[in-house]
Chain A
Amino acid sequence: MLRRYSGLCLFGLGVLLIVLATWLLVSHMRIFSLKRDTAVMIGTGLPERRSQVALLAANVEAERMFQQDALAAWEEQASVYVLSDRSPVPRALRAMQETVLALSREAGTSLSVGSITFDAKTVDHGSVKTLRGKSTLRGNYQAVARFLGVLSFSGDMMIKDAFTPEAQEAFLRQVEASAPLSLGAAESFLYLGLLQYAANPDQAEQRMLQDMPTGVLADTRAFVLENGAAGIRRAFEGIASRLRDKEVWPFPLMRIDHVVRSGDQWTVEFTLFSR
């Protein structure tokens, strides 16, 4: 009797062991399959991640180098001219008047300033203060648009300031992918002074493009122009050297609030920022 039951128990145990082994085998195969899929997924995304890390490393290195060298100088300029702790009015008046003069003398446009007035008091917003102003101008559409185009770059000091952060990333990624050896030149280009570029844009672009393969030159240049450089060229065409000589750049940070045209008379309301 005992022998009979032990035989049956062994049979049951045998079945159980076989089921267990089959389950183990199936789950192992499933893990295999999952791992393989994961590997393919990782493998597909790995080159892009590698490129992102290389780009980021180059960026961080360039920013670190730049901070050591030039950022202190830009910071000083920004604290004195762009977001001053003193009244921005004298600098703004000088900047606007010199721009109008440069446009009418160098670029041959007909533009003149009628008046510039400011509110009596600044408004304190905590970390920044604002002062509203109003200016009347006389000129045709093209001349006033040029003037306001220059003011659009107020507060900008480097080429990179005219690019959105996304455009900067995309530009460096494009260079890294197509001409990795020129990544340093591309970084230097972005940190070039805005007016320095505006005074001689072709030379600055040539310096950046010189070591790139011929096949990517046109695309890289087109990207740079479309994402900010064309605006600098357009606004400062013919007047950059004069503005540089007169030492009116960088402009104090300014926002255009309202513009009304009535014939050749224009009224421009704006806000100046300071600390």
Chain B
Amino acid sequence: MLGFYEPKQAAVPPADTGATPPRPPRVLLPALERLGLPLCVFGAVFLSATALLTVLLTPDRFPVRLGERIVRIRDLEGEEKALVSRQAELTAAREKLSSESRSPVLHEVMKLKKDILPVGLALLSIDDVRRSFASRDADPISLPQVEVRGEEGKILLSGEVRSDSGRSIQLLARFVDSLRAVPLIQSVSEPEYKQVNAPDGTTVSPFSLTITLKRA
């Protein structure tokens, strides 16, 4: 490696004088010595320029394009900070308003209402679904047995689906599916799908369902 820097005359074979050949003069260290000052000056200028650049060209000063807007990052951050602080202020104001001692009873009612399930509305929705299967001539779904267990949030329904075209199982499946689409209902148990022939020529599918209501 060092040989690369050696002067050309070093390649000439030394005269055979019988003495130890002289050591080739070193060139790398002198070169580094000579380079020292310019490199140091360059380094100092480079560092100063970079430091100046860092101070002067802060990212906050530069604009960014957001959709159709061009806005400086600093302004953007400032706007966000102001919005966050305004939001915190408003939330605190709202909490203060809602917990104010001027409406303690309304507050208590609201708290109690959260845990009360709208059992009656659920029964009404079930009836709406049941009636959607009725036509002018026939009301195929009957619900003679109903039990509501309010604390458990469950409605137990027993009844039967009647069809004069032999499709009572299909009707029952559609009824269950429609119940599952009711927003107040969380789940409906899968009934046993069976069909018996009634003496009047219709088919009847008795069923039992457990409906679980959604809690707030």
Q: Is the CB of A261 within 8 A of B144?
A: yes
> CB distance B73 to A7 under 8 Å?
no
Q: How far, in whole Å, are A132 and B57 apart by their CA atoms in the complex? A: 75
B64 near A39 with CB under 8 A, answer yes
B127–A39 touching, CB < 8 Å: no
Query: Is B194 located at the chain interface by the 8 A CB criterion?
Result: no
Instruction: Give the CA-CA distance A25 to B37 in the complex, in Å.
Output: 23
A-B pairs with beta carbons under 8 Å apart, 5 shown: A28-B57, A67-B102, A141-B143, A234-B124, A275-B108
Assess whether B50 is interfacial by the CB under 8 Å rule. yes
- Set of chain A residues within 8 Å of B104, measured between Cβ atoms: 75
B46 within 8 A of A: yes
Known contacts: A43-B71, A255-B116, A261-B145. The answer to whether A127 contacts B33 by CB under 8 A is: no
Q: Is the CB of A11 within 8 A of B33?
A: yes
| B51 beta carbon closer than 8 Å to chain A | yes
CA of A267 to CA of B97, assembled, Å:
42
Say yes or no: is A14 at the interface (Cβ < 8 Å to chain B).
yes
**CB-CB contacts below 8 Å: B56-74 with A:** 57, 59-60, 62, 64, 66-67, 69, 71, 73
Given contacts A7-B36, A14-B36, A21-B46, contact A273 B112 (CB under 8 A): yes
Which residue of the partner chain B has the closest CB to A36?
B64
Cα distance A27–B110 in the bound complex, in angstroms? 55
Mark A146-166 against chain B: 1 for CB-CB distance below 8 A, else 0: 111111100110000100100
- Majority secondary structure of chain B interface residues (helix, strand, loop or mixed): helix
- Determine the chain A residues whose CB is within 8 A of the CB of B130 once the complex forms: 141
A window 107-136: CB within 8 A of B: 127-128
Q: How many residues of B contact A (CB 8 A)?
A: 80
- Please tell me which one of the listed residues A11, A16, A17, A20 contacts residue B32 in the complex, with CB atoms under 8 A apart: A11
Chain B: which residue is nearest A164 at the CB level?
A: B216
Give the segment of B7-15, B75-83, B195-203 that binds chain A: B75-83
Closest to A52 in B: B87
Flag whether A74 is at the interface (Cβ < 8 A).
Answer: yes
Q: How many whole Å from A130's CB to the nearest CB in chain B?
A: 10
B46: chain A residues within 8 A (beta carbon): 17-18, 21
Q: Which residue of A lies closest to B60 (CB)?
A: A35
Contact yes or no, B123 A149, CB < 8 A: yes
Contact status of A7 and B44, CB under 8 A, knowing A145-B127, A235-B121: no
**Interface residue A216 (Cβ < 8 Å from any Cβ of B):** no
- B138 at interface (Cβ–Cβ under 8 A)? no
CB distance from A43 to the nearest CB of B (A): 4
Residues of chain B with a CB closer than 8 A to A40's CB:
64, 66
For B143, the chain A residues whose CB sits under 8 A away are 141, 261
Chain A residue with the shortest CB-CB distance to B104:
A75
Interchain CB contact under 8 A, A11 and B113:
no
Select from chain B the residue with minimum beta-carbon distance to A256: B119
Q: Are A71 and B80 neighbours in the complex by a CB distance under 8 Å? A: no
Which residues of A sit under 8 angstroms from B41, Cβ to Cβ?
A: 14
Report the separation of the CA atoms of residues A144 and B80 in the bound assembly, to the nearest whole angstrom: 55
Cβ-based interface call for A9 (8 A): yes
